[in-house]
Amino acid sequence: MKIAVGITGSSGAVYAVDFLKKSGAEKYLVVSKWGKVLLKDELGMAETDLAPFVKRQFADTDLTAPIASGSNHLDAVVILPCSTSTLGKIASGIGDTLITRAAQVALKERFKLILCIRETPLSTLTLEQCARLSSYGAIIMPISPPLYFVPTTVDEYVGAFTDKVLGVIGERASHGWREEEL
C-alpha cells in the first residue's frame, strides 16, 4: 500500500506522528510551512525526526515530486491534520502546493482522499466545503476520537482516532462499539 501523508498547520501534530508510526504502508510525507511550525510548537520535533517512519519526504514546494502526478498510483492521500485553509484550497480546485496538488490528483484519479479536519467550531463556509468535497469522493474525518471504549490515557485517546483512519484506508480494522457482542 502506498500513501501520501500531508501535515498542515492545524493543531494536532500528535495524531500525525501516531499515524506515521502505526501505518505499515509505504508512506511519502509532505509537511507544509505551518506544519513544520506545528511539529515544533506542539511536539518539539522537526520534520526530519519523522524520517524513520516514511519511505521519502518531499518539500511542499516541489510540484515535480512523483506524488504530484496521477500517472503514479497511490492507494490514499491522508492529510492529518488538515487545516481549513488547505481544505478550502482543495475544495476550490487549487493545487499550488504539493499537498493540495496530491489531493487534486487523488480526486481526479479516484484515490482515497482522507481529510482530517481539526477545527471547532466550523463555519458555514467550511461545512459547505466539506460537503462539496464529500460529494466528490473525499472522506472528511474531523479529529474526533471515539470514547465508547473509555480511554484512560492521552495515547489511547489519540490512538483511537488514528486506528479509525487506518481502518478507513483498509490497513487495519479499528475497534468497534460493543464489538465483543458480535
Q: Which domain holds residue 89?
A: 2-181
41-66 per-position pLDDT tens digit: 999 999 999 999 999 999 999 999 99
- If DSSP states are collapsed to H, E and C, what string results for the chain? CEEEEEECCCCCHHHHHHHHHHCCCEEEEEECHHHHHHHHHHHCCCHHHHHHHCCEEEECCCCCCHHHCCCCCCCEEEEEEECHHHHHHHHCCCCCCHHHHHHHHHHHHCCEEEEEECCCCCCHHHHHHHHHHHHCCCEECCCCCCCCCCCCCHHHHHHHHHHHHHHHHCCCCCCCCCHHHC
69: domain CATH number is 3.40.50.1950
128-179 per-position pLDDT tens digit: 999 999 999 999 999 998 888 788 999 999 999 999 999 999 997 666 666 7
- pLDDT value at position 175? 65
Question: Per-residue pLDDT for 181 more than 80?
Answer: no
Into how many domains does the chain fold? 1
Residue type, 174: S
89-116 per-position pLDDT tens digit: 999 999 999 999 999 999 999 999 999 9
110-128 per-position pLDDT tens digit: 999 999 999 999 999 999 9
